[in-house]
Structure 1
Amino acid sequence: MAVTERVAMKRAGIDWAGLGWMYLFFWYFSGVTHLLILLGDGAGFSGFRQALLMSTIWLAPLLLFPQRARLFAAVLGAVLWLSSLVAFGYFLIYGQEFSQSVIFIMFESNVSEGSEYMAHYFAWWMVPAFLAYGLGALLLWRRLRPVHLPSRLRVAAPLMVLTLVLGYPLSKEYVEKDRWSEAVEHLQTRMQPAVPWQLVVGYGKYREQLEQMQSWLASNAAVPPLRNLQDLAGSPPATLVLVIGESTNRQRMSLYGYPRQTTPELDALREQLDVFDNVVTPRPYTIEALQQVLTFADQQNPDAYLSTPSVLNMMKQAGYKTFWITNQQTLTERNTMLTTFSKQADEQVYLNNNRNQNARQYDGDVLAPFDKMLADPAPRKFIVVHLLGTHMRYRFRYPESFERFSDAQGVPATVTEDQLPTYNSYDNAVLYNDHVVSSLIKNLDSQQQRSFLLYLSDHGEAVFDAPAADILGRNEGRPTAPMYTVPFILWRSPQWRESDPRGFADVLGRPYSSEHFIHTLADLAHLRFDEYEPSKSLVSAQFQARPLLIGDPLKPKSLIDFSLIRPKAKVQAAGLVQADRVPAAKEKAAAEL
């Protein structure tokens, strides 16, 4: 370094420009991909923000040993560049953020499948893109120079960086949760958007969740089969489809009387549908709700999902080939249970590899694998389609062509100007969900076979719905009706109606909780076994109305009857439950994303 440069640097105190180039170099490996995702509106700001923060930790060794700054930067840069190629390449192909779900898919695929994917998605322009990406890193490295801090900051500054970026969130979480495991988990989540943690933490979480899933699958394999199962119809060819929605409140569907036309395609099919208008979910959270919906567990026996057969077990025992298509995430802290259910099927298709749910992902992707499964030669098929539905963030749930609601027309006066964009985006998400569900019905109908499709949502969602118009999301501790009112729609093919002419017009208003869904599915499929209880089947002549218990079953005193948070009166014209009336003490709930 020239003497004049050293003198100038000494007078300035700190070489801020040099520090800026140093930071930009390390940010490059995490930030470029996140910036492209953000500019493409493929996800929210959180990943980009964490990449900004986590990139600062690499400044510490360069500030501590400035005389070796370029050497350290070269070594670290090489590691970060190699680590970042996976995420950068994944973005070029899918336009999404790399995640542990991708790691799961990679290990689930064999070499032949992996080669097929590479050949299908590889394009010539990716080669210059990778070269340009590497050249950018090299040019930034060439701009690096040692940054000599004043002696009093030589050690303090690197320690301060590490403390603020890593130590503070770790200690803050520990103080709040009083558990180091949760604090470390929180820190790992913050680190994961940046390289190399996308691979290191992602693989660690993958192994952890895989072990949990394998444990559950082993427990499920040890569950005794249903006793004395028989098919009253005589086991003829059939295709049965269960479509599980997400966060869809039926009160925002025109099929159920909502004034905005959010379900035009299902409205057009209404004569072919049995639309049940008094079904609620026991829990306002996906995992907790589906543990009951898909098994014999209920609010009185919440842990029975671990020791009783699931819907998949039941259908396989009845001789159906089973399939599972999901547009939800795979192995995450929350979604591993869903993947466990899916692995009970004979074949699975996983479509959503985003790191978090707040990313652009369209349910229309399920249609192609659904058609492929319909074409499977198995005479008896049971297909589960798990949608992302109307999950937050709503604007990421539908293509631009479905952005029909953009003004205040048809919106309750209680919705404020600030709330209006979110309110409208939810209705647009419901509109696109209508298109996907109706497309599944039409594709199934085109097969001209003995079949039915049943659609229900895991839970609802409060999106500034009157009269508790300040609530967004779900909160079991402060329930409102939109969090629990779910669509429950049955479509039956002409061939199915011919073999099973039962009419359900007189039972559409029965009060029912989806906690007992497995009994209804068994009834519709003409399956009988010792564990079947006709009084818990929504369509059985022996149906018995029960309290619609909502709340946390692990806290029995918290369980309440759903009728306590909404009136029993219905809109006469549409059969829609009227606007919710909740006690004053329950009018506010924090949004749970």
Structure 2
Amino acid sequence: MSAVLTGAARQRVDWAGLGWAFVFFWYFSGVTQLLIQLTGTAGFSGFRQALLASALWLVPLLLWPARSRQLAAVIGAVLWLCSLGSFGYFLIYGQEFSQSVIFIMFESNLNESREYLIQYFSWWMLLAFFAYGLGGWWLWRQVRPVYLSRPGAVFAAALALFVSLGYPALRQFSKHDSWQAGFDNFTQRIETATPWQLAVGYKNYREQLANMQVLLAENASIAPLSNLQDAHAGQPATLVLVIGESTNRQRMSLYGYPRDTTPELDALRDQLQVFDNVVTPRPYTIEALQQVLTFADQEHPERYLTTPSVLNLMKQAGYKTYWITNQQTMTKRNTMLTTFSKQADEQVYLNNNREQNARQYDGDVLEPFAQVLADPAPRKFVVVHLLGTHMSYQYRYPPEFARFNDRTGVPANVTDDQLPTYNSYDNAVLYNDHVVASLIKRLAGQEPNGFLLYLADHGEAVFDAPKVDVLGRNEAAPTSPMYTVPFILWNSPQWRTQQPRDFTTALSRPYSSSHFIHTWADLAGLRFDMYEPHKSLVSDAFRPLPLLIGNPEQPKSLIDFSLIKPKIDVTELAQREREQPAVEL
């Protein structure tokens, strides 16, 4: 008899009603995530996380079914209002809302914020918001009470709570040693869902802003360089530093790669100085640039906090400074990059996506670069930070640059499974070539007195020799593609006339970009007490130094890149790769 009653009770569960309620709550997170999926803007993880998190709002409807319509109306109205920002932001910018947007809004003055909001606003946005709200209203009309036995309702509510918040929390707290790390990763998991997008975004913004303000205060307290002398003092000049991302020079035809991945730079070859023996000290962006942009190096890694940066140097020399970036603006990892950018007089932030693995093209830097070049300031120093060939590679280039799609020119060791990734990396290199060449051409079109220097922060292993199964970067299991970076100089005719130099003997010098600030100062004609000519790649006083790679916080792990093969036993390296696979950071 009890079995019959149980079966009848199960038949009375209004599954359709439960489904409509869930779809109603999912709608306010799901529409934007669905648009992101349909446009290929980012991966599937955000969609999945928003789907699970939406189950939370079923809890009050399950516990108080008689008030389902009223509860759904109140919760839905709040969710709709909270979701308008992310929905509208995607429609305007084609990006996923994040704390970076909050950073730009809050750190701009009132006029700049107003311009930011109205720049792309059109009448059709009102229609889009109305249609979006109408869809929510229609779904609300489908919501109806779902009656369960009291124990059944409590169980179902607990299940919804566990699926939406409990499981993600338990999973993250169990994976991390510290409570803070677990909590940070848990909030990251629910951030794609409304209203957590605003709450978590604001929380992250406040935390990262506080960290950045500490770093900026420390930078402001650093004494200026002593006895600074400028060989070009008083002369108009435009000096440009282009920082690439994850680009291994061994995959560039400019450096001998058999595939034609850099046709535009190849065409400019007679105007370029192509240095072919430069390596990065670290295979990760933040750690590498802490050395590249300051006087820190592998033996003194802490100096990025206590010595002037290249931004400080150029401002002291009388240049107006600019930072144009297509990297993420404000994340826990990127706070140091934003700190460098805030040292500049003006900043342009283009990438406000929540995830680095989202579709974001570096061609967006070209227009703001042109605007900076048109600035009447006589002396300009411009940093352009690209997203380059960062994972996921298929997001780094528009469809018309997907030229490599077969095995032509591909090493035989690349498997069929690896081929799409191998090809997409080469396509990313191809588009990166277009962007860098376009920057050079735009600068050249201004007939400036100055130069442009391009280098990448680090390389990337994409099924390359000597370890053909490795994808990504791993400091504990280094391979040469992770460290070999392009280093290319373009000098304007006027600059060459004023500062004639023969770089022939310098092009193949072994050099670590950890000493880059000395090379930059040398090229810019700047001298000061901390300048060390033997650390300048282009100085007559250049002296080869060990190309140290590894984690400087573990000095015994540092090795000379030039000795990487004989120093590391192949069997040991393979074992280390199995224990700690290559990671993307």
**1:211-249 C-alpha deviation (Å, 9 max, x unpaired):** 111111111000000111111344422111000000000
Within-5 A mapping of 1:534-553: 534-553=533-552
Matched to 1:140, the amino acid is: L
TM-score between the two structures when normalised by the length of structure 1: 0.94
Task: Identify unmatched segments of 5+ residues in structure 1.
Answer: 1-6, 569-580
- Residue 309 of structure 2 is matched in structure 1 by 310
- Residue 397 of structure 2 is matched in structure 1 by 398
Evaluate the alpha carbon distance shift between residue 582 and residue 31 of structure 1 in structure 2; reply closer, same or farther with a 3 A threshold: farther
Helix, strand or coil at the partner of 1:243: strand
CA contact 1:456–1:489 (8 Å) conserved in 2:
yes
One of 569, 573, 583 as aligned partner of 1:586: 573
Distance, in Å, in 2 between the alignment partners of 1:53 and 1:11 is 24
**1:401-440 C-alpha deviation (Å, 9 max, x unpaired):** 1111111100001111111111111101100100110111
% identical aligned pairs: 69
Figure out how many residues of one structure are paired with residues of the other and give that number.
576
Helix, strand or coil at the partner of 1:524: helix
Matched to 1:584, the amino acid is: T
Distance, in Å, in 1 between the alignment partners of 2:175 and 2:392 is 27
Distance, in Å, in 1 between the alignment partners of 2:237 and 2:462 is 39
Evaluate the alpha carbon distance shift between residue 65 and residue 9 of structure 1 in structure 2; reply closer, same or farther with a 3 A threshold: farther
Within-5 A mapping of 1:289-300: 289-300=288-299
Matched to 2:397, the amino acid is: Y
- Residue 327 of structure 2 is matched in structure 1 by 328
Helix, strand or coil at the partner of 1:325: strand
- Residue 439 of structure 1 is matched in structure 2 by 438
Distance, in Å, in 2 between the alignment partners of 1:549 and 1:64 is 62
- Residue 522 of structure 2 is matched in structure 1 by 523
- Residue 418 of structure 2 is matched in structure 1 by 419
**1:542-586 C-alpha deviation (Å, 9 max, x unpaired):** 111111111111111211111233489xxxxxxxxxxxx972322
Distance, in Å, in 1 between the alignment partners of 2:208 and 2:573 is 36
CA contact 2:55–2:163 (8 Å) conserved in 1:
no
CA contact 1:44–1:358 (8 Å) conserved in 2:
yes
CA contact 2:471–2:582 (8 Å) conserved in 1:
yes
Task: Compare 214-223 and 91-100 and name the one that shifted more.
Answer: 91-100
- Residue 43 of structure 2 is matched in structure 1 by 44
Say whether 1:376 aligns with 2:367: no
Evaluate the alpha carbon distance shift between residue 9 and residue 272 of structure 1 in structure 2; reply closer, same or farther with a 3 A threshold: farther
Helix, strand or coil at the partner of 2:123: coil
- Residue 578 of structure 1 is matched in structure 2 by none
- Residue 484 of structure 2 is matched in structure 1 by 485
Matched to 2:443, the amino acid is: L
Distance, in Å, in 1 between the alignment partners of 2:112 and 2:552 is 43
Task: Compare 76-85 and 464-473 and name the one that shifted more.
Answer: 464-473
Matched to 1:433, the amino acid is: N
Deviation for aligned residue 1:371: 1.0
- Residue 172 of structure 1 is matched in structure 2 by 171
Matched to 1:591, the amino acid is: A
CA contact 1:229–1:528 (8 Å) conserved in 2:
yes
Say whether 1:213 aligns with 2:200: no
Distance, in Å, in 1 between the alignment partners of 2:46 and 2:469 is 28
CA contact 2:466–2:479 (8 Å) conserved in 1:
no
Evaluate the alpha carbon distance shift between residue 131 and residue 39 of structure 1 in structure 2; reply closer, same or farther with a 3 A threshold: same
Matched to 1:68, the amino acid is: R
Matched to 1:128, the amino acid is: L
RMSD of Structure 2 on Structure 1 (CA) = 1.8
Helix, strand or coil at the partner of 1:328: strand
Within-5 A mapping of 1:72-91: 72-91=71-90
Deviation for aligned residue 1:150: 3.4
Matched to 2:550, the amino acid is: G
Helix, strand or coil at the partner of 2:404: coil
- Residue 198 of structure 1 is matched in structure 2 by 197
Matched to 1:230, the amino acid is: Q
Helix, strand or coil at the partner of 1:591: coil
Distance, in Å, in 2 between the alignment partners of 1:292 and 1:223 is 16
CA contact 1:297–1:303 (8 Å) conserved in 2:
yes
Within-5 A mapping of 1:266-277: 266-277=265-276
TM-score between the two structures when normalised by the length of structure 2: 0.96
Deviation for aligned residue 1:11: 5.5
**1:39-89 C-alpha deviation (Å, 9 max, x unpaired):** 011111111111111101111121122222222111111110100111111
- Residue 3 of structure 2 is matched in structure 1 by none
Evaluate the alpha carbon distance shift between residue 463 and residue 318 of structure 1 in structure 2; reply closer, same or farther with a 3 A threshold: same
Distance, in Å, in 2 between the alignment partners of 1:379 and 1:526 is 17
- Residue 16 of structure 1 is matched in structure 2 by 15
- Residue 148 of structure 1 is matched in structure 2 by 147
